[in-house]
Structure 1
Amino acid sequence: MRSQRRLAAVLLAAALAVTACGGDEGAAPAPTGKAELSFWGWDPNMDKVVAIWNAQNPDIQVTLTNPAGGDQLVNKMVTAHQAGNGPDIAKVEYQSLPALVSGGVVRDITEYTSDTVKDFDEPTLKATKFEGKVYGIPQDVAPLMLFYRTDLFQQYGLTVPKTWDEYKQTAQTLKQKAPNTFITNFDAADPGWFAGLAQQNGADWWSTSGTNWKVDINGEASKKVAAYWEDLVKAGVVDKGPSFSPQWNKQMNDGTLATWISGAWAPAQFAGIAPDTKGKWAVAPLPTWQAGDKATGIWGGSAITVTTDSKRPAEAAKFVSWLNTNAEAVTAQIKNINVYPASTSGRSLPILTQPPPFMPNQTDYYEVIKQSAPNARSFPMWGPNVTVTFASYTDSFGKAMQADSPFAGALDAMQNATVADMKKLGFTLN
């Protein structure tokens, strides 16, 4: 918690420096009347949830658009903010929130959410709080899980692996029995899953001592993870293609890939990725480095924020609170988006006794997620330039895959790019 407060102090000082230039002099009075709010997000079927709100709140209407997802949306938010025409509301992954706070893009909504935050435990809420101020309402928790094709595992006599050693053995057995099949792919285009794997092994990519920062992206914990996957790639048991590409979708659909290491949100994606595989997937805890360990990492998980460009922050915050705490709204998100709720009350909703529509055969799906969620480890803090780090991941690991060069070098490149950028931004590093 002390490191979280130190992070908050640094980020909020930067935020104040940014916002102080504009000041509040001559601010126009708050608008009244019907509120027309814009909402940027990428969840499939979120329009169905927004429709419930709009039907019940004729004086506060929300229009949903999907300009991009993840890091791309963050970049669009920054650009829109600089032009003064950002949305009222935006979905932001937890790792991106510190940079948006420091950039003055998202708003402190503490005054509007005093009752809302009571529905969240402190470990969940701390990802959206800095110096005790609330900058977003948590939407979901996304522990890394192992999704596997039950039909392929049965066909080839495979046992669901509980450790990474077992996962490697399973990959080798599968390749022997089905030479054209891979246990999974190594995604050099999306850093989120690799960050989650590093988290599971205890990596802390950023830390602080006072106002000084330390970056440890290429530390031993991360290099152990990288070396493990490098071995699988070189052995030919893991495919090299990026996730979410047309080729990957085809492989997921036709059984070329037997597992997918993904966040708890994966079932919402299967229909678009592998439409012919309904009922063929199951979820299990992520394999661990030591037998009996329960640790996992996190891939994604988001907060819903109100931006500093919004002229109707009170109304926007009202919608954000409703979206993530109202029983009808959270139930609709579980049904249509397959989120695992961040709110305490949301985790007890009756719908969680039902499996996701695409995985009707696994009736205990949410129970498995519930057991893994408390063991999900994120970094104690995210750095102020995550987009730079993630862009370097894509570049450096992509080059390593093409050149068949050591993955440790890719981590070194990420380290160097992150440190150089933080120094350029004026941060002091140990």
Structure 2
Amino acid sequence: MTRSLAAKVVAIALGVSLVAACGSDSDSGSDQGTSGGKVELSFWAWAPNIEKVIDKWNADNPDIHVTLSRQAGGGDIVTKLLTANKAGNPPDLAQVEYQSLPTLVSNDVLADLAKEAGDAKSKFAEGVWQQVTLGTDAVYGIPQDAGPMMLYYRTDLFQQFGLTVPKTWDEFAQAARTLRTKTKKQYLTTFSAKDPGWFAGLAQQAGAAWWGVDGEAWKVTVNDAATKKVADYWGGLVQEGAIDDQPMYTPEWNKALNDGTLLAWPSAIWGPGVLEGNAPKTKGKWAMAPLPQWTAGESKTGNWGGSSTGVAAKSKNVAAAAKFATWMNTDPTATALLVKESAIYPAASDAQSGPALTQPPAFFPNQPNFYTEAAAIAKGAAGVTWGPNVNVTYQVYQDAFGKAITQKSSFGAAVDEMQSATVADMQKNGFKVSG
């Protein structure tokens, strides 16, 4: 698919200008930042201490100066970017979560960096790079950090109850059932109806593809066979009482992690920081392993979280901004600073096995190979194309799965609700949906 056609697909809603979507990068980025004189770039981001990375760039690049404006992440920065773009004064650069890229592209906020990115694609795993392309040859950001999923488990409690680390989801289910025959106070894990990103990552591992580009339309298959398989699997464990059904990130969940009520947590690379903050008494008692696999011997995972660095389509210095974004997310010095100062897991493949990650997280002192194992896991991360209304899909997930747990009804039906609501919302907003 050509970039112009891709832009038409994502710009079809809200009367977005095809000319602006396709031409802004080459028109605005080629004249400034390369013709002499100092270029001033503004950058909106939320990563902690990212100003220290920016300081390094500014010290080494006096002709291109970057100024940080700290923002809240998630939906807050997306709303502000949309407002600033409409007013004609967006920042030159912005940190953007992968699932937010389509919304910003469809509103003509982000430039296509296919020309400016050079060989950046070679620095990232295929699944990571796909998240900034919307399944096309356009490039709407440079990947910054990744969130490959893995399994965290209590080594002491696994030993106490005679459990082995499950390598398949069948083994995981059996371990959950075995534990409940030995204790009625503890569970292997919980299913959270409040965390759609968690479920999305698990579905990705199984091969789910919720959105895709189909000619000049969006293909929407939130209730595909892979997602239904994952939903039915977890729904079955909840209904039989093999696992808990309390949401994550609550005082009760924190307590369950801290006192050993929960023995395992399928999560992402950033999990150690959460465990350290929420279950401090358990330091040194956890280990990390690959997610259980649907087929024995495979090495697949999904992503939960992660962000990119995008460049505004209305920036007068697209080329200079893209140069900074590429440096920050691929240069070894820059990625080492991101790891050290911002505590992120870098998206660049080389950085994942670089010197900044030779030591395990402080909360995992007994697993010196933590990041070596993590880098191997990250290579198996599934590619994903996000759609333009992830917020709607995620909200319906919370509502539908919450109702399914309360009413003890089918998780598969909850996925169907996600599909119906997602398609209806896209059609309401003018998107062409195939199938």
TM-score, normalisation: structure 1: 0.85
User: Is the 2:268–2:303 contact (alpha carbons within 8 Å) kept by the matching residues of 1?
Assistant: yes
> Deviation of residue 289 (structure 1)?
1.9
- Structure 1 counterpart of 2:420: 416
Distance apart, 1:237 and its partner CA: 3.5
Query: Which residue of the partner structure matches residue 156 of structure 2?
Result: 151
Gaps of 5+ in 1: none
Q: Decide which of 327, 351, 356 is 1:351's aligned counterpart.
A: 356
Q: Give the whole-Å Cα distance in 2 for the aligned partners of 1:48 and 1:148.
A: 34
Q: Which is worse superposed, 367-376 or 124-133?
A: 124-133
Q: Structure 2: which 5+ residue stretches go unaligned?
A: none
Q: Matched residue of 1:202: which SS? A: coil
Quick one: which of 381, 384, 387 aligns to 2:388? 384
Letter in 2 for 1:258: L
- 2:96·2:310 contact (CA, 8 Å) conserved in 1? yes
Picking from 281, 288, 291, the partner of 1:283 is 288
Deviation digits for residues 222-271 of structure 1 (CA, Å, limit 9, x no counterpart): 12211111122223333323222333233223322221111222234333
Q: Does 1:397 align with 2:401?
A: yes
User: For residues 128-167 of structure 1, what are the alpha-carbon distances to aligned partners after superposition, in whole Å with 9 as ceiling and x for unaligned?
Assistant: 2365443211113322211112222223222111111211
Matches within 5 A, 1:117-266: 117=121, 119-120=123-124, 123-129=127-133, 132-266=137-271
How many positions carry a matched residue from both structures? Answer: 423
Q: CA deviation at 1:287?
A: 0.6
Structure 1 CA distance for aligned equivalents of residues 59 and 272 of structure 2: 27
Partner of 1:93: 97
Please tell me the root mean square deviation across aligned C-alpha atoms, in Å.
3.3
Q: For the Cα contact (< 8 Å) 1:3–1:209, is it kept in 2?
A: no
The ranges of structure 1 where at least 4 consecutive aligned residues each deviate by more than 6 angstroms after the TM superposition are 3-6, 21-24, 29-32
2:396–2:421 Cα contact (<8 Å) kept: yes
Q: Deviations over 1:272-314 (max 9, x none)?
A: 3333332222111101122222222222232111234555545
Describe how 1:297-336 pairs up with structure 2 within 5 A.
297-308=302-313, 310=315, 312-336=317-341
Indicate if the aligned counterparts of 2:168 and 2:294 stay in contact, CA closer than 8 A: yes
Cα distance, 1:334–1:91 mapped onto 2, change above 3 Å: same
1:11 is matched with: 10
Deviations 1:163-210 (A, max 9, x none): 112111222233333422222221212211111211222222224442
Distance (Å, rounded) in 2 between the aligned partners of 1:202 and 1:35? 43
Structure 2: distance between partners of 1:3 and 1:151: 54
What CA distance in whole angstroms lies between the structure 1 residues aligned with 2:288 and 2:268? Answer: 10
The normalised TM-score by structure 2 is 0.84
Q: Which residue of 1 aligns with 2:113?
A: 109
C-alpha displacement of 1:3: 11
2:423–2:433 CA contact under 8 A, matched in 1: no
